[in-house]
Structure 1
Amino acid sequence: MSSTETRHYQESVTIQAPVKSVYDLVSDITRTGEWSPVCTRCWWEDDASAGQVGAWFTGRNELPHRTWETRSQVVAAEPGREFAWVVGGDRVRWGYTLTPAGTGTTLTESWDFLPGGIAMFEEKFGDDAPAQILDRTQQALEGIPQTLGAIKRIAESGTSREDDRS
């Protein structure tokens, strides 16, 4: 794979909850650990800019064989329409778009492995880069439907984070 290629994947789910509620949920990155199969926790670097374009946050990711943290920057924050961020400045773009669907919401999660990320993998892993890129791609392909299913469950349950802990 050349460093100029981009990998993209997206999937959608219809949630029986208002667009505003779903947006408020997915744009609260501090709740990511409730639905992500890999990212166990996120926190804003500056609470004053939380949720706004340009805001930075850190995510802690865990798999059985490794744990790591990434810095991400919010690149889209349009309430009721889109929330997205880029990992590492130019490596991977993750995002949610929301569309009204009757009384509910169609939530689409997208993942783009950007040329900067592919180039970083080629530099970091050398001959093993294609296998590492394939592994990360597979994680996204498997993780997105799991994530959407968990977000749907949470949004349709009508419970807040505090309710879930009791």
Structure 2
Amino acid sequence: MTVLEFADSVFVALDPESTYALVSDVTRMGEWSPICKSCWWDDPAAGATVGAWFTGRNVTPERTWDTRSQVVVAAPGREFTWEVNDGWVRWGFHLEPAEGGTRLTQAWSFLPKGIAGFHDRLGERADDEIALRSEAAQSGIAQTLAAIKLTAEAG
């Protein structure tokens, strides 16, 4: 069965506010993610605020595509979350104080609107494509968290 929600965590030896400043800067996502190679704010003046939109460029060996995402939670030191394609997929970082740093969790959910959208667009191929996205999210989260940890702890 395809996993439609997944989260993983890592300890980062950096306080929650500084960790939040790092992960809420979407322009740095390309440094960490194995698939999302770059992001930019649609309105750079808006930055990491609820309602702000950004575009992400994703690259796999099979294809390159852009997504538009909107920030839905921007709580400094606690949570930074966005939805892709107006509610198809939700990605986010949750931060909890931990002795000597932060427990950083990255979470992913394939939402009902996205599942329906995939079925509308892809028909019989939808379930296979959803399974591929699920596998990519599960493996990508661990890689992304490890890269963020290295960046954060490098100073």
Please, what TM-score do these two structures have when normalized by structure 1? 0.91
Report how far residue 39 of structure 1 moved: 0.4
Report how far residue 18 of structure 1 moved: 1.1
The 1-side partners of 2:55 and 2:48 are apart by 13
SS in 1 for 2:45: helix
SS in 2 for 1:127: helix
> Which runs of no fewer than 5 residues in structure 1 stay unpaired?
159-166
Report how far residue 49 of structure 1 moved: 1.1
1:19 aligns with 2:16: yes
Report how far residue 112 of structure 1 moved: 0.5
SS in 1 for 2:130: helix
Report how far residue 128 of structure 1 moved: 1.0
The 2-side partners of 1:147 and 1:77 are apart by 20
The 2-side partners of 1:7 and 1:38 are apart by 18
1:33 aligns with 2:12: no
Percent identical among aligned pairs is 55
* 2:85 corresponding residue in structure 1: 88
The 2-side partners of 1:102 and 1:141 are apart by 27
Which 4+ stretches in 1 moved above 2 angstroms? none
Match of 1:101 among 98, 101, 107: 98
User: Which protein shows a greater Rg?
Assistant: 1
1:15-47 Cα distance to aligned partner (Å, 9 max, x none): 111111110000000000000000000000112
For 2:138, give the aligned amino acid: L
- Number of residue equivalences: 154
1:61 aligns with 2:52: no
SS in 1 for 2:49: coil
* 1:164 corresponding residue in structure 2: none
The 2-side partners of 1:45 and 1:135 are apart by 28
1:67-101 Cα distance to aligned partner (Å, 9 max, x none): 00000000000000000000000100000000000
Match of 1:10 among 7, 18, 23: 7
For 1:30, give the aligned amino acid: T
For 1:35, give the aligned amino acid: W
